[in-house]
Amino acid sequence: MKSQSGFTLVELMVVVVLIGIILAMVTLNFTQLNEKYTVESNMKEIYSMLMRARNDASTTNMPRLVVIAANQVQTGADADGNNIIDGVAVTKRYPRFTINCGINPCVGNTVAFDRRGLTNNNQTISVAGFSAGTTPAMDCIVIAATRINIGIMTGGNCVQR
């Protein structure tokens, strides 16, 4: 009898199981990477909105407001100085995560920039609600009178980058 070449059923099953294990590991890793990217992207976008409001306030000589809620950020001009956005507000929603002001979810926290682009609303904004295994490079913003810095929450404090 001639020897027949080919794979046995056991060999094929071992290969299929190994491929399944590799796919499961890749899928879990991809999910964490995607969540990490989303957190970092959201923080950069909020930082950008704050910086733009500060810049617009100083260049147009008109106060600007940034209103931060648990899952959205609004920005716009405050021409009459009553701490209410006048006209059309730019709104960005963040339904996937919770935006915290300090340690609690934000509830209409307003950051007001005066005509010179300065604020007296010193606070820390962070993002919560992502998986424990996700380690974003940035997940908080510190707002001070003359600066806005982005950083990473470490031990309850935002360590600025």
Domain boundaries, the chain: 9-160
Whether the pLDDT of residue 1 is over 60: the answer is no
pLDDT in tens, 116-145: 999 998 999 999 888 888 889 999 999 999
Task: Average the pLDDT over 66-92 and give the result.
Answer: 91
Q: What is the pLDDT averaged over residues 32-49?
A: 92
- CA–CA gap between residue 107 and residue 121 (Å, rounded): 14
Residue 52, pLDDT score:
96
Distance of CA 40 to the CA centre of its chain: 5
* Span 9-160 CATH architecture: 3-Layer(bab) Sandwich (3.55)
pLDDT attached to residue 2 = 67
Q: Which residue has the higher pLDDT, 51 or 6?
A: 51
